[in-house]
Chains A and B, each alone.
Chain A
Amino acid sequence: MPLWLDLLVRVVAVMVAFLVLPLVVGQAEHKVMAHMQGRVGPMYAGAFHGWAQLVADGVKFVQKEDVHPHGADRTVFRLAPIVALFPYLLVVLTIPLGPHGLVAQRLDIGLFLVLAILGFGVVAVLMSAWASANKYSLLGGLRGAAQLLGYELPLVLAAASVAMAAGTLSLPGIVEAWRPWWLIWQAPAGLVFFVAGLAEIRRPPFDMPIADSELVFGYMTEYTGLRFAFFLLAEYVGIVVIAALTTVLFLGGWHGPFADQLGWLWTLLKVFALSFVIIWFRVSYPRLREDQLQRLCWLVLVPVSLAQLVLTVAVKSLT
C-alpha cells in the first residue's frame, strides 16, 4: 500500500469514528436516560424509535442564526468551540482498536501525548468563558478551570501507575503488557482515572461549570447554532475518549476470546459499556457542590492514586 493511500485510509477511519461514535453515544444517552426516568425518549425522527434525532438536531443547529454577544471578543469567541473539539480528534488518533497495529498512529509516547492534549480542554473553557462577556459564562469558566486543573492531577497519577506497571508509555504497548490480574492490582487507579476523567469532560455529577440551574449554561451560555453543536459534540466525543482510554489502560483493550480476530469488537464493546456507565451516573447522581467537588479531588482521589503508585512500585519490584 502506498504511503498516501495508507494515510488517507487512516485519516478517513479516524474521522468516521470521530463523527459516528459520539452520535451513537448521544442517541444511547437520549434513550437510556429516558427509560431510566420511565419515559421513552425521542420517537418520531427517522420513524423507528427516533434513531435520527441527533441528525435532526444537527440540521436544526446548522440553520440557526450566528449570534455574537455585543461585548464579545469575536475572534476568541469563534475559536473556542474548535479548541474544545480539536484535542479529542488528536486523542482518537492514538487509541488502539485492535492488535497488530490496528491504530491510526502508533506513538511511543502515546499516553504522554494523550494526557497533555486532554489538559488543553481548560484553555477552551477559559476562552469561551472570557470571550462571551457574560458574568455567568465567566463564573462557569472559572469553576471549570478550577475543576479541570484539580482533576488533572489524579488523572495523570492514575495513568502513571499503569504506565509504570507496563513499563511503557505507548498505548498499544500497555494493552500488550496487560494481564487479567491487573484488574485487581490496578483497580483503585482505574476507578480514580474513570472518576477524574468524568470530571475532566464536565459530565454530571461533575457538571458544576455548566450547572444550568444556577449559571444558565456556564461557559456555553452565549453560544448558539453550530458553535454550540461543536461544544455538545465535544462533550460526546469526550465520553467516547474517556471510555476508550479507561478501556485501553485498565480493562485490557482488545483482550478477550478470539482477540486476534475480534480484538476491535472487544475494544468497542468495552467502550460502549463504559459509556453506558457514564450515562447511568448522569441519571443517578445529583450535581456535586463546588466544595464537595474539590474535596473529592484533593482528599480522596489524589491520596488514593498516590497510594496506588506505591502499591504498583511494590508489586513491580517484588515480581
Chain B
Amino acid sequence: MTDDGERGLPGKGLINGLAVTLRTMTRKTTTQQYPDVEPELPPRSRGVIALLEENCTVCMLCARECPDWCIYIDSHKEEVVVPGAARARQRNVLDRFDIDYALCMYCGICVEVCPFDALHWTPEFEYAETDVLSLLHDKDRLGEWMRTVPPPPAHDVLGEPSKEEATAARKAAGPGAATAAKTARPAAVRREPRQESDK
C-alpha cells in the first residue's frame, strides 16, 4: 500500500503476521499456574541463603566479605573443659546471626567464602513480607531453611578430583610418587591440567 520495497508479493507480510498468531494459538501455552502448581526451578536455583548453625565458628568472614554489610553476627566465648587437657579450651558460641534480605543482593559471596559450609543456597523463594523491616531474618529462621537445601550435585566425572581425594591419593602413594592428577584419574581425558597447582 504505502511502501513497495523488495518484499515480494504485496500483502505477504500481512499473511505472515496472521500465520504467526494462528500457529501460536495451536501450541501449548507457556503459562505456569504458580500458586496452584509449584514451579519447576532449575538446579542450583538461588532463592535464599540458609544457615547451618552447628557449622558456624563465628569466623566473621561472611560478614566482612558481604558487599552490603547485611549480615549481623554476635557471639560470646565459652570455656570447655576437656578431660585430660592441660587447661580449658575456649569456644565461640553464636548468639545472633541475622541476614537483612532487604539489603542482600544475592551475590552469594558469603556462601562462597564460608570455610565450614555453614551457609547454603536454597531454592526457597516464598518469603515475601508486607513490611520491609520484616525481611531481617534471625538464625532460627535461616536454620529452618536448611530443610529446603537440595543435596549437592554429583561430582563431574570429567572434572578435576576434589582436594580431599587428591591429597589422600598422594599420601597413599608415598613421597616422590606421581602427582595427584595422574593417580586420581587413570583414564585421563585431558592431559594433566595445571599440575603445579595440585602439588
A35–B21 CA distance with the chains assembled, in angstroms: 9
| Inter-chain contacts of A36 with B (CB < 8 A) | 21-22, 24-25
| Inter-chain contacts of A40 with B (CB < 8 A) | 29, 31
Interface residue? B162 (CB, 8 A): no
Q: Which of A35, A43, A285 contacts B24 (CB 8 A)?
A: A35
- The answer to whether B29 and A300 have CB atoms under 8 Å apart is no
Given A36-B22, A285-B14, are A300 and B1 also a contact pair (CB < 8 Å)?
yes
Give chain A nearest CB distance to B170 CB in angstroms: 55
Interface residue? A261 (CB, 8 A): no
Give chain A nearest CB distance to B87 CB in angstroms: 69
Interface range on chain B (Cβ under 8 Å from partner)? 10 to 19
Give chain B nearest CB distance to A151 CB in angstroms: 15
Q: Which of B21, B29, B31, B33 contacts A284 (CB 8 A)?
A: B21
- The answer to whether A38 and B30 have CB atoms under 8 Å apart is yes
Interface residue? B77 (CB, 8 A): no
- The answer to whether A280 and B29 have CB atoms under 8 Å apart is no
Give chain B nearest CB distance to A208 CB in angstroms: 15
- The answer to whether B17 and A284 have CB atoms under 8 Å apart is yes
| Inter-chain contacts of B18 with A (CB < 8 A) | 280-281, 284
Give chain B nearest CB distance to A66 CB in angstroms: 32
For A277, the closest partner residue in chain B by CB is B18
Interface range on chain A (Cβ under 8 Å from partner)? 10 to 19
| Inter-chain contacts of B14 with A (CB < 8 A) | 285
Q: Which of A280, A284, A295 contacts B1 (CB 8 A)?
A: A295
| Inter-chain contacts of A285 with B (CB < 8 A) | 14, 17
For B16, the closest partner residue in chain A by CB is A284
| Inter-chain contacts of B1 with A (CB < 8 A) | 292, 295-296, 299-300
- The answer to whether A38 and B2 have CB atoms under 8 Å apart is no
| Inter-chain contacts of A296 with B (CB < 8 A) | 1
| Inter-chain contacts of A292 with B (CB < 8 A) | 1-2
Q: Which of B21, B27, B33 contacts A283 (CB 8 A)?
A: B21
Give chain B nearest CB distance to A287 CB in angstroms: 13
- The answer to whether B33 and A280 have CB atoms under 8 Å apart is no
A39–B33 CA distance with the chains assembled, in angstroms: 11
Interface residue? A189 (CB, 8 A): no
Per-residue CB proximity of A32-48 to B under 8 Å, as 1/0? 10111111100100000
Per-residue CB proximity of B2-33 to A under 8 Å, as 1/0? 10000000000010011011101101011101
Given A38-B30, A284-B20, are A32 and B25 also a contact pair (CB < 8 Å)?
yes
- The answer to whether A39 and B21 have CB atoms under 8 Å apart is no
A195–B15 CA distance with the chains assembled, in angstroms: 15
- The answer to whether A38 and B21 have CB atoms under 8 Å apart is no
For A279, the closest partner residue in chain B by CB is B21
Most buried by A among B20, B25, B27, B30: B25
For A289, the closest partner residue in chain B by CB is B2
For A34, the closest partner residue in chain B by CB is B29
For chain B, residues 157 to 198, give those with C-beta under 8 angstroms from any C-beta of chain A. Answer: none
Q: Which of B22, B27, B30, B31 contacts A280 (CB 8 A)?
A: B22
A111–B40 CA distance with the chains assembled, in angstroms: 58
For chain A, residues 12 to 66, give those with C-beta under 8 angstroms from any C-beta of chain B. Answer: 32, 34-40, 43
Per-residue CB proximity of A272-305 to B under 8 Å, as 1/0? 0000000011011100000010011001100000
Query: When A and B form their complex, which 10 residue pairs have the shortest distance between CB atoms, in order from nearest?
Result: A36-B21, A284-B17, A35-B25, A40-B31, A36-B25, A284-B21, A283-B21, A40-B29, A38-B30, A284-B18
Given A38-B24, A280-B22, A295-B1, 6 more A-B residue pairs with CB atoms under 8 Å apart are A35-B25, A280-B18, A281-B18, A284-B21, A292-B2, A296-B1
